Chains A and B, each alone.
Chain A
């Protein structure tokens, strides 16, 4: 489960995507807090934004997880939303970028 995930990113986007990755990691705890508070709308919006941006900078998996998060939050599914946040967190911990 701890295998690294390599993502190829456009070298022009190196600085920006490095910042994005940090920001996505920083979003995890507030997302968990929102779930505790059953603030699904906040999580839905974060999922929607992940879906829109992830694939555009090379992170197709972020787009997929963002879409899952958006749907789970929209349907107010507590367990599924929590599991998707866990999945996203694990992915962000394991991902490494290669710039081309």
Chain B
């Protein structure tokens, strides 16, 4: 039986899930967790087939949980529930192997998304290798203030600083600002975590929109791939 871990701090919502998803009990089993911390504890003890998580939660939030899943290379697809999602964001993240469900939704919509995600040839990919762009887009969507730490496959460290979801600065190797952001957006196989923020503020050094930077990084990668093909 497929085990589906659902993470949400709203106890009423959890009760609604317990009752509403009962009719799907022959298709999947649900495990509920109140926050990212509890979810990590479940993931340490059990193998789950799918993770469904809210983003805004106390203690360890959904973004930190996704970072953990990514770091531990847990091969479970992921559905993200957010009250701040828009159709445009849903479409953008779906290109990055993440399914986003906009709250509120009918429970049958969630059930169908779970069933789709559990199919062997699911329309979305697994969370393994979640891109830096996807993380940044989720932080932007949730208007969060945080430091996103990036470690490349070559163990080179960098960071993004976001304030209320806006990208303020980036640092990587000897560069900062747009240059550092573009370099990190182009990394493959990087690991992602959240740094100690401690309420520090940084001056704004990036004025390009996040979407603009992501598109520039994609263009640079395409050009690089084309050049390699021509060699």
Contact = CB atoms under 8 A, between A and B. Distances in A.
Nearest to B105: A56
A12 B104 contact: no
Contact of A56 (B23, B56, B104): B104
Contact of B16 (A23, A48, A57): A57
Contacts of B23: 12
B223 interface: no
Interface in B15-42: 15-16, 19-20, 23
A20 B12 contact: yes
A56 B12 CA distance: 11
Interface in A15-66: 15-16, 20, 23, 48-49, 51-57, 63
Contacts of A7: none
Contact of B12 (A13, A23, A55): A23
Given A51-B83, A51-B103, A63-B104, A56 B19 contact: no
B16 A13 contact: yes
B20 A52 contact: no
Nearest to A14: B19
Interface in B92-132: 103-107
A15 B107 CA distance: 16
Contact of A12 (B12, B13, B15, B19): B19
Contacts of A63: 104
Contacts of A55: 104-106
Interface size class of A (residues with CB under 8 A): 10 to 19
B10 interface: yes
A71 B19 CA distance: 30
B104 A49 contact: no
Of listed A13, A48, A54, A57, residue having the most chain B CB within 10 A: A57
A53 B20 contact: no
Given A12-B23, A63-B104, A53 B16 contact: yes
B20 A12 contact: yes
Nearest to B23: A12
Given A55-B104, A56-B105, A56-B107, A13 B83 contact: no
A8 B78 CA distance: 32
A49 B13 contact: yes
A49 B10 contact: yes
Nearest to B14: A53
Contacts of B105: 55-56
Contacts of B103: 51-52, 56
A63 B15 CA distance: 17
10 interchain residue pairs of minimum CB distance: A55-B104, A56-B104, A52-B103, A49-B10, A53-B12, A16-B19, A63-B104, A53-B13, A52-B104, A52-B13
11 contacts: A12-B19, A16-B15, A20-B12, A48-B83, A51-B83, A52-B83, A53-B13, A55-B105, A55-B106, A56-B16, A56-B107
Interface of B: 10, 12-13, 15-16, 19-20, 23, 56, 83, 103-107
